[in-house]
Structure 1
Amino acid sequence: MAMNNFEKRQWVRLILCALVLIAVSLFLTGIIGGEHMTYNLAEKANGPAVNGTAVEETEQGFGGTVTVKATLDGKTVQALTIETPDETPGLGQRASEEDFTSQFIGKEGPFTFGENGIDALSGATVTSNAVLKALNRAITGEDAAEPAEEPKAEVKEELVQETTEEPKSEESAAEPEAAGTTVEETVQGFGGEVTIKATLDGKTVKALSIDTPNETPGLGQKASEEAFTSQFIGKEGPFTYGENGVEAITGATVTSTAVLEGLNKAFPAETASEPAAEAPAAEEKAAEPVAGTEIEKSEQGFGGEVTVKATLDGTTVKALSIDTPNETAGLGQKASEEAFTSQFIGKEGPFTYGENGIEALSGATVTSNAVLKALNQAFPGAEPAAEEQKEDAKPAEEAGRVYYGSYTAKRETNFSTIKVMINSKGGKITDCKITSEAKMEGSDFLTDEIKDTWAKTIVENGTADVDAITSATLKISSGAVVDAVNEILGRIQ
């Protein structure tokens, strides 16, 4: 069948378009029209990088492979990313952060740490050197000279991992060898073993990690944090607390002392300074506390047992931790916080609230009293805490001091058993708790919300004779609460 004129024109157009596309392709590839076109998407060559080159290099880090990806304009770094998935979190993995990578941007390589504003990561020398080696190789096309402070091949940095290399058991830990020597010491802390791992350049600490798995959270375990370990980095040992910017952890003297003892073993024995305090002797059980004696006592608190662990130098508290797992969160459990325990540190016992800067916890008198009673058992001849006295205690103004008390009154109704517990300071109500137990299923009409509201009202007004209670619809229960509170107030006064 013959094509009409329209169909012929359509075929001609398609053929012409195809010829144009072929011609353009040949021109772009350089087959016609001269040299081929170039783009700034050049692949990495064996020689030095050229303008707009994207390069990628890898190097062995501390925990695995470190990958460096850079965009170069000649030898100038235009963009840089560093992948550190296997490095130590908080140490080597900081090489991936902008704070580290940004120091290379806009600068010409190859680079050396300590020059042109380029600094290694503190406490992560192996990772830092891996980055520098990979980046310099990307810029020059060959391995550069060893980076600054490159440790020996067999040496590891902080958080030393198990290796297949045989340890150098014959090396004396007392006298560090050359730069990059790794030492590890284990000493007894407050709750268990404390392990110190350090990399030394002569007598200078280049990297340090401290393992404190058995120490008290929030106290001794702070020795593992960078805020503590970093104060040793770049400084020469042996060390003494209070000198050269090296400070012990407040409230964790035993752990701090253990760290100093272990670290100072790396330095010549004749020059090592004495630790801040004598490490406690586990076998010391004498009635009269001596330097470094550890005591542990438990007393009944508001919700359960309160355990006090202290280290004493004579009658002076050197370290103190308080366990309050069963006390009220935000009230009694505050006794475990440093803000409370630190007021005893460096002071001689026995103690009395309201004297020598020792204050009870507001709203947690029962817990406070349990702590004081347990701690004072460590001191010979200590009298029971004044706040343990009940109705026969002298008024505060007569004794010349503030007295604390804990009181309970119980009332029975036809529907439930109601118990009111009140803490007082100097004759005033500081805390109140109301509980109720049904005598038969569904007979207790006091909800937690009602009981909490009444308790807060009693504390705020210092009495149960308030409208918020007496005008309640639950007349029988409210009357029982008012009666119980008035009984306690009579005992306090």
Structure 2
Amino acid sequence: MKQKNIIALGVIAVGVVAAVVTGYQSRNLGTSSSVAKSQIPGDAVTVEGTAQGMDGDVKVELILTRDKIYSINVTEQNETPNIGTMAVDQLPASIFEANSLSVDAVTGATVTSTAIKNAAAQAIEAAGFDPANFGYTKEEKKEVTVNLEDIPADAVTATGEAQGLGGPVTVEITATADRIYNVVATGDNETPGIGTKALEQLPGDIISANTVDVDAVSGATVTSDAIKEAARKALESAGFDAASYKGGQSASKVDPKDIPADAVTATGEAQGLGGPVTVEITATADKIYNVVATGDKETPNIGTMALEQLPGEIISKNSISVDSVSGATVTSDAIKNAAAEALKSAGFDPESYKG
């Protein structure tokens, strides 16, 4: 009887080992999509590419010609089961069917999806072909250049911290009471390719929009929120009110000594793309001395470009008849209309200002 039990336990043990080995192997195997071998032309090339995934290298094998993918196979991966492996299971078929790397990432598996595309692009390059012909666009990092000479002497640098997805996120911010000049965000334990994308992108968005109330980076909401919260704490630590920074606010640099005593300051408002746009203008009957444009709801890096650029254009040309900022026509028109309303409110004729 004991012998039978020993044999039975031995069989169970072998079964467990086999299950573990099989499970491990299936985790490393990918999926493939291809045409029948008979349909693959003789000039097709078989190549392999590798890219960093969430949990190690992702390897992709392609069979292709200059303009067509005949087979795509994820040959090696160690991605998270039921998360990264969803991309491994689904993306090759999407790429194969579209004959393009320009396909949507699998929801919740952005890092693995990107790794598959990057590995496929590397394989295409190894074949001597251009990945761009297959819709591949390498993601460029968005950078905002900060000129230290533009930071005034009264600017304050302070630090704030908030909890991210993987650990603390720290933000160092340099600002005055009404303008944010520099932002540096760090978070050593945020998810590579997801949280790190927010760490790279959001500081520039905050600087450009001159507010911490910017959109979260898609797929990285927790890290994005941590950056914004840490930025608020940094501003408060510096003695400033984070809510007082208005998105897309632009003021021209005018020496008050150059503004005559008879100049009038008035305000006008017009509808922008996302909400009201307000313009404060200081002028005499024949000269515009200062323009401040504010639009809290205008699109970051599009409408805000108009809010930043147009006031200076209006002053330098001494006219509200200036060209709209490319791609930001609605916000540009709102600024000009609000400026016209402000001049009328001051008792001046907007048409009398000649550029």
Q: If the TM-score is normalised by the length of the shorter chain, which range does it land in? A: 0.3 to 0.5
Higher RCO (C-alpha under 8 Å, 6+ residues apart): 2
Task: Provide the TM-score with structure 1 as the length reference.
Answer: 0.25
- Bigger radius of gyration: 1
Task: Provide the TM-score with structure 2 as the length reference.
Answer: 0.33
Which of the pair is proportionally richer in helix? 2
